[in-house]
Amino acid sequence: MAKYVQAGAEAMVVCATRGEAGQIRDASVATPNSLGAVREAELREACARLGVQHVAVLDHIDGTLAGLDQGLLVDEVRAVIDEFSPNVVVTFGPDGAYGHPDHVTIGGVTSAACATWDKGRLYHSYFPRSRLLLVHFKGAANFARVFSLFAQESTALGYADDHIDVGWFPPGVSIVEQGEAADALYLILSGVVEVSQIQPDGTRTTLRRSGPGEFFGEIAIAQHSTRTAQVTAVEAVTCLVFTRQAPALWGSRGAAESTAGIGAAANPGDSRQSTCVMSSIARSPRSLPIALSIRSNPR
């Protein structure tokens, strides 16, 4: 996109939502109430740095695109395409890049909108699969070795039904968010985390710090409830992560979080979801459209 803009083309990015149901991995950047506005601002700043001249955000709720009237959504996307009249449209393929339901939905909707569009070409984006992870342990070697063996042998021999993985989190990242669905138990191998709670008035209260050999995330698992506190990495943290099944390649605060308190009267800064529909449109120096990319949420 930047390449064509630098050559004199005109570009546009369109998002269906503001991505407000996503996970907050840096607790210093946003809260659940402000995430949508923060992500939209980040999207606009990223587009500005790429030289994209136009950014539009539609007013749909993150995590709900599949439940909308698909015909109306197709018409909405087609209206944007017809107005900008691009030569190229780019959107997600049937896999939604990594299985995100909104990505799958918007890819299908955009493809349908282009089915009778004869003024340009439609392309699907491709994301190569890679799970390469570099992990540095700071804890005692024997401690890490014992739990590594446990993870391998208990799973292989069928002693544990859990999916066990190793997670690494840099300083400042929110490992667990208050209010999100509880689907994992964490055992700290190295590093220190801070456990805190966000009060109704928005202030944050620190409860404790935890280090190697300690678990967190067990309360919500045991009570079958949403997370009752935030857990933030104070320094680089390595954990064993126990889940009932292999986790999805995308994450959010869960269905309850994505819709709670959201209605027609809610203002954008308070809504809890969003998804980006169309990512970029480019026009030539003669104002003839070149490309339109359609995605699912601000990234």
- Name the helix (H) or strand (E) containing 238: strand 237-243
SS3 101: helix
Split at pLDDT 50, 70, 90, the class of 242 is: confident
Q: Residues 171-209: pLDDT tens digits?
A: 888 899 898 888 888 989 889 999 999 888 888 899 999
pTM as predicted: 0.56
pLDDT on residue 75: 95
Strand partners, 163: 243
Asked if 272 and 15 count as a contact pair (C-beta separation under 8 A), the reply is no
**What CATH superfamily is the domain 162-243?**
Jelly Rolls (2.60.120.10)
- Amino acid, res. 3: K
The domains of the chain are located at 2-129+263-294, 162-243
Query: Residue 52 pLDDT > 70, yes or no?
Result: yes
pLDDT of 243 strictly over 70? yes
CA-closest candidate to residue 190, choices 237, 135, 147, 136: 237
pLDDT at 296: 57
- The 10 Å Cβ neighbour count of residue 237 is 26
